[in-house]
Each structure stands twice: as C-alpha cells, then as structure tokens.
Amino acid sequence: MIKTTLISLLLVVNTSIAQKKAISNKKATTKHEHPSLVLTKAGVEKIKSQLGTVPLFDKTLANVKAEVDAEILNGIEVPIPKDFSGGYTHERHKRNFLMMQKAGVLYQILSDETYAKYVKDMLLEYAKIYPTLPVHPQTRSYARGKLFWQCLNDSNWLVYTSQAYDCIYNYLTEKERKHLEKDLFRPFAKFISVDNPQFYNRVHNHSTWGNVAVGMIALVMDDDKLLETALHGLKKDNIDPNAKDNDGGFIKKKGQKVGFLANLEEPFSPDGYYTEGPYYQRYAMYPFLVFAEALQNVKPELKIFEYKNGVLLKSINTLLNLTDADGNFFPLNDGQKGMSYYSRELVSAVDIGYYFGGNKTDLLSIAKKQDEVLLDDTGLAVAIGIRNGLETPFIKKSLDLSDGKNGDEGGVAILRVNGSKDELSLVMKYSAQGLSHGHYDKLSFSLYEGGNEVIQDYGMARFVNIQQKGGGNYLKENTTWAKQTIAHNTINQDETSHFGGDFETGSMHHSEKYIFDVSNSNLQIISAKETNAYPGTQIHRTMAFVKDDSFENPYLLDIIKINAEKEHQYDLPYYYLGQLMSANFEYTKSETLKPLGEKNGYQHLWKEAEGKTGASNAKISWFNNERFYTLTSVVSNEDNLIFTRIGANDPNFNLRNDPGFIIRKPQTKDSYFVSLIESHGHYDPVSEIATNAFSNLKKLSIVYSADAYIAISIENENNTKSMFLFSLNDNSKTSKHQIKIEDKAYEWVGVYQLINNY
C-alpha cells in the first residue's frame, strides 16, 4: 500500500514538473484578441444569440444592468483613500472595482458604449491619482496597500479591474491604453509584487490574490514576463524567514516555492481541502478559478484544470461538501458564520466547475438555489442547463478530507446521517494547524442538525467589514478567546491551549487518523490521535453516529481516551446552543459571576454554576429551535460539572454570550471521557405540544477498559442494551480481537463492533 502511494506521488510530481516546464517555456507569438480572459469573443457572440431565451441568465443580466445603471446615475467617485474596511473610502473603492467589472461585461453583451465609457472614465480617474498616491494612511497591515489599507484589497481591485480593462480594450484608443498601462496598471502590479514581496512571495490566500492580480493584468496586456512572475513569484525577495504577518503567521519558510502554482500546490490537499479552512477557501476560490478560467482561455496548452490531478475542480466539490444543510460553511478555524455557498465566489466556482469540469448536473441544483450566474460562457452554460431541466440533487456525503500538500497531515472528517427530521452532521477536525488562520483545537468537533448548530464551533471573533468593531478587522478576542483550545469542544490539559498556543510549534504538527469508516450506514465512525498538543500526553478521540431503532434519531457516541505520563487536570467543554432544560445532578448557581480562569481563554468564561454527582452519569438536556437535545456523560464523583457562559473580560462586548458545559476531571493520569448526544422530540410554540422531551438513554457505562480495548454499554429506557467494542491500538481491518467482560467472551474482527441486545 505504501509502495503504491509512493508511485502515484511520483507520478503527480512528474506531471507537475512537466506542466511547469510547459508553462515556463511557452512564449506568446501573437497578440491575442479581446476580450479573452473571462468573456471571449466567441462566447460573447453565443451569449448575444441566446439573449431572451435563457431565464436565469436573462434575470442575472437584468439585475446587473439595474445595479450598474443606478451606479452610473450616481456618478463616478474616486476618493483619496483614508478608511479601514467598512469605512467610506474603502467601501467606495470596493464598489468601484465590482461595478467596473460588471460594466465591462454589460458593454460586451449589450454593445452599449455607455458602459465602456463608464469604465474608461473611472480608469482615467484612477490613473490620475495613482502615480502620486502614497501608501494608505492606516498603518495596521504588514503590507499596506495604496487604495486600501492592505495590499490584499488592492489586489482584489486589480483582479476585477483587469477583466473590465479586457472588456473595453478595443473600445480604447492605443494612446489611452498606453496611458492606463503606464500610469496605472504597471505601477499597480509592481507595487503589490516587487514593492511588497512580503505580501506577494508567500503561500497564503493573500499572495494568491496578489499573484492572480498580476497574472490577470499580464494576460490582458499580453505580457508573458509579467505572467511568469504571477505563476512562479518574484525571483528575489529578501524575506526574513522569521518574519510574521498580522495574524501571527510566518511570511515564508526557507526555500519555499511561491507564485500562483505554488499556492495551488501547497495549501490544497489532494482531496481539495484548503488548509486554512472553508471560509478562506471560499475567499481564495475566486482568484484561483477566475485566473484558471483566464489561463484556460488564453493559454489552453497549460491545462491548468488538470494541474495536481485536477485539484481545482475537486476543491469545488469539497467546498460544497463543507457546508451545513442551509449551505453555510462550517466555521473551522477563522470563519465568519453565515458565509455560504450563496456568496459570489461560489457562484463563480459552481459555474466554472460546471463548464470546465464535465457538466456535472448536480452542480446545477446548487446554481438554481444561488439564483444567479456569471455573465460569461460558464454562466450561460449553467443557465441553459437549468432551463433544460438537467439538474440533479447535490447529495452531500460523509467524507474524510485529508489535509496537507500531500494529504498526509491529518484531516477533517464529516459524518452525515439522516434523522427523523433533518440530517445530523458531525464535523471532526484532526487537521494540521491551518496557517495563520488556524485554531488550537486538535480533535475538536461541531454537531449540526439540518442548518442548526447543536454543539457549536465559535468561529472567529470578528465582525468582517463592520467598522464599529475594530474597523471590521480581527478583534483581540480572536487571539485571546476564539483561537484558544478552551473555546472548542475538545480536551484542555491544565487549563492551557494545545501547543501552549504557540504557532510555530502548532505548525509543525498534525493529528493522525486512526480510522474513518462510513461503509456501514448504521455506524459511521471517525477516530484520530493527537500526541503533540500536550507533550507526554496522547489524546485519542473516537466519534460515531449510531442508528439504533430504540432511539428516535441516530445518536452520537464520543469516546476520548487520554494516556499521560504525568497527572494533569482535564477539561472537556461542550458548547451546546439553547436553553438548559434540566440536569440530573445537583448544581449551585453562583451568586456573583467570576471568570473561570485567568488566561488561555479561560478568562473569557463566566462560571455560572458548578455541580457534582454521586451517580455514574451526568445528564443535561437543552432546548433549541423547537427540539430537545441531551448529553449524557460517564462521570465519577470526583468530576466537576461546570456551567459557563462566554463573555467575561470582554471590555467592548465583542463576544457572543453563549452557554457551555464543562466536564472537569481533576488531577489524573490516564482518563476517559465517554459521552452520548441525543437529538430527540419536538416542541411547537403554536400547538404547544411537546413530544419525546426526555432522553431515551437510561445508562451509559464503560464496561471494559484497558490499554488495548474499550467497551461501552448503552442502555435504553426500554431496557434494550447495546455494546460498542473498540480496539485502541490496532486499526487493521482484519485483526481479530477478543475480550472478556463479566466472564463472557466477546470476539470481533476489525477495529470496532456494535453488538445489539447483548
């Protein structure tokens, strides 16, 4: 197996080298026509011939026309840059590039020179101010832009504006083009690359935008030398290998390859998972795909969509799978909740993926929900597909996404199972650090029912583009709370974060998959080990959805085994969302609230209540979105059961005041956390009828535990019992196991076994 992997790896590398050579050696011999990047001359003719016959395309066109017409009426504004994101000048320049791109397209499709003139006039305004424009007055960024506070946004501007320029290229006189290229485009491209190598010569979503910006304008200007800089980065940069960006991420590792192809090569795993997480994958998708589309149109010989085994097209499918039932991305690492496949980046991704990826009809059902298309060949193809009723459902699957360039740096597993009402989805993270946007949350998870969070991941502490909140940028609570381990549903040792919250250490490690098996729809399982988060301690977490007819819905089993060299305190939080309904143990609510701790995120938790139990199970039920949920955990009378609420030491009300429940095991060496989560019942405030409001689990117990095995008994209120057997150290699918429990022998083959009615 290892051998096969090595061979296929070599094949990948070989292909990749061959492709790179092809890219480097290619010299343009003829000036190409315009437009040719996203719109093409042939495409425009086809679009024109279809106008009025493809409803979704026509509708999008009408919306875009209305929007641009209103902007034209409003007049051109090119203010001197001043504000952070959310502020007037920022939002104005952002709107300008979006409008120019749209106006360029309208000019091509509608042959109405009003739109060309609008783009031209605006470009001339920019060409007027750019030559003397200093760097942006806001000093927060490690790479300040000119139009915006960071080069990143300047690059956004150029990616969109290049397309507008391509569209009106032939409308402009040669003199006008020369003027714009000399005073605007070339210095602009130079500024974000040569003048800012710390921004441009990296493997990071920032650099992807930078590389693509330069690449797009290079394609319009037919400048292969500039294109080379886009594809492979600057030859020289003098970047200090210890330098970091504003988020604490390294600028560049020594000897690291850079440029667009390196940005495609390194952060994407072979499964198309982008190491920063879906929120940033979404953000990077637009430049990746629009540049790939442009390269495919202008330089088809590069076969960019086949690069790294077609990873770009694969990543679209991956990204769509990284969403909940409503299409919202799972907020892994730094992710703002609410971002979804309705974003404009995903409209691009779905359309480009459909057009260049073999017309997969399941993408049409997503496009139909998006209810808009790109105004180009790809969007036309999608709209025609929808008009012709070709769409098939996009079925999200349980899947395991490897992380890391070569797919060997852990991963993210998603388990999905149908409940009586909605699909339950588990997101379990055992990935690498995720660059500067990564959180310290090895083996953490979140749980969804339909589009509702049952056990939430906090996401990031930021209100993107909302100026009142730190200019719309990352808030300090992102570092002090959201990135910390205690903010996640995973193990905290001695009230410290994984890797001591140290980015360099975290970046060196990843968790290891133990088993992922979804071949049996009645028991889907993911299990992974983490040995580096706390040196000397191994954490092994196993999570499984089990369909058991004696429960209303499939339940989630959560088994953590900790092997430690020394004694430690362990905390396991569950950030349930909703109103607590009941607990099966005594607890005392605090008369005054104090923070749970002083640092590592603990300072942000109010300790609301604390309890203990003499029983072997602690059980809490809560209510949310008309449904009941219950967490049952195996506990001892030593364990502290703590209710928390987020919001302490939050001087500016930056945090959401959400509840949490922490199981705390005091000083112990090896330890188990075994829990079961049920979704059950329903309450409708209109009928006021509550059904199945109580847990169906009578008793959860560890009936066997040793180095090599663990066995869990699950007893239902109806007195049916099942037993889950698990091999902790041998993950072979063919090994035979045997253990004795109360003098009875149990045998099984493979890592796990569920015995019903034992």
CB of 694 to a copy of itself, least distance (A): 8
Q: Rounded to 5 degrees, what angle do the CA atoms 732, 738, 740 make?
A: 145
Q: CB nearer to a copy of itself: give 272 or 472.
A: 472
Q: CB nearer to a copy of itself: give 48 or 344.
A: 344
What type of residue is 550? S
Tell me which of 274, 280, 341, 570 is the catalytic residue. 280
- Give the integer Cα–Cα distance in Å for 315 and 281: 9
Strand 399-402 and strand 411-418: the pairing is antiparallel
Q: CB nearer to a copy of itself: give 43 or 647.
A: 647
Q: Read off the tokens for 545.
A: 């959805």
Alpha carbon of 229 to those of 192, 236, 331: distances in Å? Answer: 12, 11, 33
| Nearest Cα to Cα of residue 165 among 207, 200, 124 | 124
Bridge partners of 570, per DSSP, are 493, 665
Beta-carbon contacts of residue 427 (< 8 Å; ≥ 6 apart): 330, 332, 412, 413, 414, 445, 446, 447, 448, 457
176 burial (CB, 10 Å; 0-12 / 13-18 / 19+) is middle
Q: CB nearer to a copy of itself: give 392 or 579.
A: 579
Our CA dihedral for 429, 432, 435, 438, rounded to 10 degrees, sits at: 30
Q: By the 8 A CB rule, do 121 and 114 touch?
A: no
CB of 628 to a copy of itself, least distance (A): 9
Phi then psi for residue 744, to 5 deg, are -105, 135
> Is residue 534 flagged as an active site residue?
no
> Is residue 540 flagged as an active site residue?
no
Our CA dihedral for 466, 467, 471, 475, rounded to 10 degrees, sits at: -50
- Give the integer Cα–Cα distance in Å for 391 and 359: 10
CB of 326 to a copy of itself, least distance (A): 11
Neighbouring CB atoms inside 10 A of 236's CB total 9
Q: By the 8 A CB rule, do 430 and 412 touch?
A: yes
- Give the integer Cα–Cα distance in Å for 435 and 200: 16
Q: CB nearer to a copy of itself: give 249 or 471.
A: 471
CB of 339 to a copy of itself, least distance (A): 6
What type of residue is 355? Y
| Nearest Cα to Cα of residue 530 among 477, 480, 492 | 492
Tell me which of 437, 439, 680, 682 is the catalytic residue. 437
- On the CB side of 142, CA atoms within 13 Å amount to 17
Interface positions with a copy of itself (CB under 8 A): 86, 91, 94, 336-340, 342-344, 463-469, 472, 579-582, 589, 591-595, 606, 608, 621, 623, 643, 645, 647, 649-651, 653, 656-657, 659, 683, 685-691, 693-694
Beta-carbon contacts of residue 176 (< 8 Å; ≥ 6 apart): 120, 124
Q: CB nearer to a copy of itself: give 40 or 696.
A: 696
- Please list the active-site residues: 280, 437
